[in-house]
Structure 1
Amino acid sequence: MSTEIDTADGDTDDAGLLRTAYRTVTPGYGSHSDDEMNAVGWAIGLGLLAILLPLLPFIAIVWGVSRVIEAITGSDDESEE
């Protein structure tokens, strides 16, 4: 079994293709579902939702007040033109 790497010639366009495959001592990868990481992701997402949902009324109030102030004073874009 050879351990040398075969390289592509300079005149071909397929320089990125694998010329020689080597045997490996690591076992092949078999796809499987990752239920543990899915559970962690759901827990983090639900935790963020539980934290941010009570803050939603305050965010809406700040947004509404900023829109009212902008309507009273005029927007910055209109004053520059």
Structure 2
Amino acid sequence: MSTEIDTQDGGDDPGLVTKAYRTVTPGYTSHGDDEMNAIGWAVFLGMLVLLFPLLPFVVVVWGVSKVIEAVTGDTGSQE
């Protein structure tokens, strides 16, 4: 059960807080998320280890597409 306390008399402005509620939960204080940072770095490094061997293939495909683009004179812009 909460107890309502009027913190401002009158005023019909909907943007202002007019009532405060008492609660048994403690207030929130900001803190660092070191555990989640460690998990994020672990996922990133895992993906890097898995995808790094594919990098030469990506470079070859990119290079071939640039050569084909240069030979055909296609710049990719449509007029």
* Common fold by TM > 0.5: yes
Offset at residue 21 of structure 1 (A): 1.4
Offset at residue 3 of structure 1 (A): 7.0
Unaligned runs of 5+ in 2: none
Aligned residue runs from structure 1 range 23-62, under 5 A: 23-62=22-61
Tell me, what secondary structure is at the counterpart of 2:16?
coil
- Given the superposition, is the C-alpha separation of residues 26 and 58 from structure 1 closer, same or farther in structure 2, using an over 3 Å criterion? same
Q: Please, what is the CA RMSD of the aligned residues?
A: 2.5
Unaligned runs of 5+ in 1: none
Greater share of strand: 2
Normalising by structure 2, what TM-score? 0.72
The structure 1 segments of at least 4 consecutive aligned residues displaced by more than 4 Å after TM superposition are: none
Amino acid at match of 2:32: S
Normalising by structure 1, what TM-score? 0.71
2:4 maps to what in 1?
2
